[in-house]
Amino acid sequence: MLRWVACAALLPAAANAQGAGYWHTSGSTILDSNNKQVRIAGVNWYGFETGTATVSGLTVQDYKSILTSIKAEGYNSIRIPLSSQVIETPGTDLAINYSNGAGPINTDLKGLNSLQVLDKIVDYAGALGLKIILDHHRSDAGASAEGNGLWYTAAYPESAWIADWVALANRYAGNPAVIGFDLHNEPHLAGSAGACWDCGGASDWHLAAERAGNAVLGVNPNLLIFVEGVNNYGSDWTWWGGNLEGVAKSPVVLSVANRLVYSAHDYGPSESSQPWFNSSTTYASLVAQWNKSWAYISEEKIAPVWIGEFGTTNNASDLQSAVPGSQGQWFQSFMQFLGANENLSWSYWALNGEDSYGLLDFNYDPTPVSATKQAMLAAVQMPLTTASTVPAAPTGLTATALSVSQVALKWTPIAASGATYNVYFGTTSGSTATLLASGLTSASYQANNLNCCTLYYFTVKAVFGGNMSAASAQVSARTSTPPAPAAPTGLNAVAASTTLINLGWVASATVGVAYTVYSGTTSSSQTNVVASGITATSAAVSGLTPSTKYYFEVKATNQGGTSAASNVASATTKAPTVPAAPSALTAKPVSATEIDLSWTASASTGVTYNVYGSTTPGGTGSLLGSGNASTTFQATGLKASTTYYFTVRAVSSGLISSASNSASATTPAPTQVACHVAYNASDDWGTGFVAAISITNTGTAALTSWKLAWTYSGNQQVTQSWDGSFTQTGEALTLTNASYNGTIAPNATSTGIGFQATYTGKNVAPTVFYLNGVACK
């Protein structure tokens, strides 16, 4: 309290200054103590949460100089990350130097611990009119978010986390330089565990935020409570801390009204790949993602939203790019979105010169590394100053259409030397809130990549001394309409298969066209649209009928209209070919109930095979198997001591070949083996039954696998089995052991085997069983 009073005495009275005192909320806006709207437009200055236990840069620059640079560049606030460790056990061996090449630095920080250094930073920031937001970044000291995705660990339980916030609330009570607490950085799921929203229990982040927020407000009811999102809600995944979809169903409820601000983090593809970054990414698709994840909260006036972290490198391509899905497209679009939504607050990541996204260089010199980035951020700043320093609005704005996609803008520059300009546009009168360009040093601009034939509205604002003027008078211009395209020429059609015809043509002379393909079955009836929106000069038309002649024509379309039709081209789909017959069919008996077949494949590719068998030579025989993709087949469920005759046919495109050569084999006579089979169909309801089977090994050698076969005399059809898998062909059935019951020791019995079947008529039990191809008692 005394520290703040001493610093406040250094400042002139500014009762009407924007940003005065503690801040509160109203709907989606943040208001100062005089009920003037303010926008958090700040930077992240990190280091306290790491092993260095203090903000970075103090080895090369005085902290007052760094804070002055932040103020001079137009930022109004600083988000300072902390750890539970630095709050509970402040470091004393800090990364601070007390001189550099230019002279003494940080001399008033000598002998101070981490929290005492934080006090100094808070005090001087307050003296400059900067606001501070403290952020619980992690529990133990380290880099990035807490690995377990939670706001607590075994060493620092939730009770310690809340106690730490209460301690900070008491420490800075009565000091309006500290306007709020970001309760925890990037809560998220880590694998199958971690933070969640509206899931209940110890991992429910929004309930934990209520507990901590209410504890803080019990000490200082004037503070803003910032609650970040998670990374997953339902099936939607996004950045750590970036998903606030759960607010719609389960908002955070605090004990003091108008103190809640929701916070999201958002980054581009260089941080990590996300499904919404791709070759089809547009500004509109990014806005849809942001609205879904968090911006709807502001739009629907549920509460203010603060993007607590976002950033990019200082490379030109990572700041502004037209490449879909690129880092530059994301950042440029994000700045445009902030420009279009003044209620959205933000804090850039980060000030730190050692960060790849840093605003300053390694020496923490006051000039930002990238003038372009600084200008883009300045376009959406709100310095905490009096209205008297706001520059005059530009005048004399004119707009002239140059082409189907370009408009030239000119205006009269304001008197202030060094002013820059922001250009805004929209497609309806009065809707010029979308930022088109920022940081312009000249009083002219050419808007490119606009939609043709569209009426656009434009305004310009001046930026000077960290303040932004009112908008200029609005002007409009309509991009010109292109001529209708010429008709495509040289259309040709070539049949590729029984169902596919390939088309090609010569492009229309006009660029930016799309093509539509029409078809018909007569030379004058091309009315069926088979492809549209084609930007190439070729198309493949599929799903056609074999042996059919088709006629085609193509038309080109752009915003100027649709062309006449191309020449008509025709082609006849190919006739299907009957596959060749398989050859070299052989048959070999395997057991008293099985015969193996093999043959040479047909010459045609993509064929399957039907297998036929009979006990009499000649004729087609009965179908034993169809759709067989290989050139082997095992006929099962056969009778012992019986000669079988087989043929095979190939099937392709619905056509079937002639029969292969006939092959025959005779199953051997069954031999008795040392086994016993019990078959019991006790549960029978007239149209179906359940049967239980047990197999006893009455021999002296163990069975390592078994295959039990039998033939019904009726029409029984097995529908499911257990402790064994079945195959059935007609009346013949084969039951094979499961992976766990194939071994039957001597004098042992395998039980639990069974199946369910249906039937009509009589349900006569089989009398002969074959175990591994030989008869069994």
If you average pLDDT over every residue of the chain, what do you get? 90
Q: Is the model's pLDDT at 255 over the cut of 90?
A: yes
pLDDT above 70 covers what percent of the chain? 95
The catalytic position among 73, 210, 309, 594 is 309
How far, in Å, CA of 684 to CA of 690, rounded? 7
DSSP bridge pairs for 635: 595
Q: Work out the pLDDT band at 17, boundaries 50, 70, 90.
A: low
pLDDT of 670 above 70: no
Asked if residue 416 belongs to a domain, the reply is: yes
Tell me whether residue 309 is one of the annotated catalytic residues. Answer: yes
Residues linked to residue 737 through DSSP beta bridges, in sequence order: 724
Is the residue at 739 inside a domain? yes
pLDDT, residue 5, reads 28
Alpha-carbon distances of 353 from 44, 100, 120, 140, 488, rounded to whole Å: 12, 16, 21, 24, 57
Mean pLDDT of the region 741-745: 91
> Is residue 350 reached through a cis peptide bond, with omega within 30 degrees of 0 on the bond before it?
yes
Tokens of 711: 């033939």
Query: What DSSP string runs through 3-37?
Result: HHHHHHTTSPP-TT-TT-SS-EEETTEEE-TTS-E
Last residue of a domain, one of 666, 701, 721: 666
139-153, 475-489, 738-752 — which one is most confidently predicted on average? 139-153
Q: What is the dihedral of CA 463, 469, 474, 477, to 10 degrees?
A: 0
pLDDT, mean of residues 270-277? 96
**Annotation says 342 is catalytic:** no
Instruction: Identify the pLDDT of residue 342.
Output: 94
Question: How many other β-carbons are positioned within 10 Å of the β-carbon of residue 54?
Answer: 25
For residues 752-763, average pLDDT: 93
Residue 770 lies in a domain: yes
Whether 481 has a pLDDT exceeding 70, the answer reads: yes
Q: Percent of the chain having pLDDT more than 90?
A: 69
What is the distance between the alpha carbons of residues 471 and 414, in angstroms, rounded to a whole number? 12
pLDDT(535) > 70: yes
Say if CB 522 and CB 551 are below 8 A apart: yes
Q: Tell me, yes or no, whether 391 and 374 share the same domain.
A: no
Q: Same domain for 46 and 185?
A: yes
Confidence of residue 511 (pLDDT cuts 50, 70, 90): low
Its domain, for residue 499, covers 489-572
pLDDT at residue number 145:
95
Per-residue model confidence as pLDDT tens digits over 441-479 = 899 999 998 888 889 999 898 877 555 677 889 999 988
pLDDT at 541: 94
The C-alpha atoms of residue 563 and residue 518 are separated, in whole angstroms, by 13
pLDDT of residue 18: 77
pLDDT beyond 70 at 209 = yes
CB atoms within 10 A of CB 77: 28
Q: Output the domain CATH number for residue 295.
A: 3.20.20.80
Domain contains 329: yes
Q: Which helix (H) or strand (E) holds 329?
A: helix 327-340
Residues 258 and 348 reside in one and the same domain: yes
Determine if residue 380 is left, alpha or beta; phi over 0 gives left, psi from -120 to 50 gives alpha, anything else beta. alpha
- The answer to whether residue 35 is domain-embedded is no
Residues 265 and 193 in one domain: yes
pLDDT value of position 390: 58
Which residue has better confidence, 25 or 173?
Answer: 25
Catalytic residue among 49, 186, 245, 553: 186
Residues 6+ apart with CB under 8 A from 466: 72, 73, 74, 378, 381, 383, 385
Pair 363, 439 in one domain = no
* Residue whose structure tokens are 């499904």: 275
What are 697-721's pLDDT values in tens digits?
888 888 889 999 999 989 999 999 9
What is the rounded CA–CA span in Å between residue 309 and residue 43? Answer: 9
Cα–Cα distance measured from residue 100 to residue 244, given in angstroms and rounded to the nearest whole number: 45
Q: Is the pLDDT of residue 16 over 60?
A: no
More confident residue, 289 or 776: 289
Q: Averaging pLDDT over each range in 21-30, 509-518, 630-639, which range is the top one?
A: 21-30
Residues 46 and 162 in one domain: yes
699/26: higher pLDDT: 26
The residue from 545, 572, 599 where one domain ends is 572
pLDDT bucket at 673, cuts 50 / 70 / 90: low
Q: Which residue has the higher pLDDT, 524 or 580?
A: 580
Q: Using an 8 Å Cβ cutoff, are 688 and 756 in contact?
A: yes
Q: Into how many domains does the chain fold?
A: 5
Find the mean pLDDT for residues 243-269. Answer: 98
183 and 303 inside one domain: yes
> What was the pLDDT predicted at 13?
33
Same domain, 367 and 395: no
What's the pLDDT at 169? 94
The CATH code of the domain that includes 428 is 2.60.40.10
In a domain, 483, yes or no: no
Q: Which of 179-193, 237-251, 314-328, 457-471 has the lowest mean pLDDT?
A: 457-471
Residue 12 confidence (pLDDT):
33
738 and 698 in one domain?
yes
pLDDT at 242 exceeding the cut of 90:
yes
Model confidence over 379-407: pLDDT tens digits? 999 987 643 355 788 999 999 999 888 99
Dihedral angle of Cα 229, 230, 232, 236, to the nearest 10 degrees: 20
Structure tokens at 34: 């005089």
**One-letter amino acid of 160:** A
Q: List, for residues 549-604, the tens digit of each pLDDT value.
A: 999 999 998 877 888 999 999 999 988 888 889 999 999 998 888 899 999 998 76
Same-domain check for residues 523 and 402: no
Q: Do 162 and 71 sit in the same domain of this protein?
A: yes
Q: Are residues 240 and 293 in the same domain?
A: yes
Q: What is the average per-residue pLDDT within 88-113? A: 93
CA dihedral 96, 100, 105, 110 (to 10 degrees): 40
- Which of 426, 455, 478 is the endpoint of a domain? 478
When mean pLDDT is compared across 42-56, 318-332, 449-463, 753-767, the lowest value belongs to 449-463
Q: Averaged over 221-238, what is the pLDDT?
A: 97
- The answer to whether position 742 is within a domain reads yes
User: What Rg value do the Cα atoms of the chain yield, rounded?
Assistant: 40
Say if strands 549-558 and 569-572 run parallel, antiparallel, or are unpaired: antiparallel
The CATH number assigned to the domain holding 685 equals: 2.60.40.290
Q: Is residue 700 part of a domain?
A: yes
What's the token pair of residue 481?
Answer: 């309409």
The per-residue pLDDT for 672 is 55
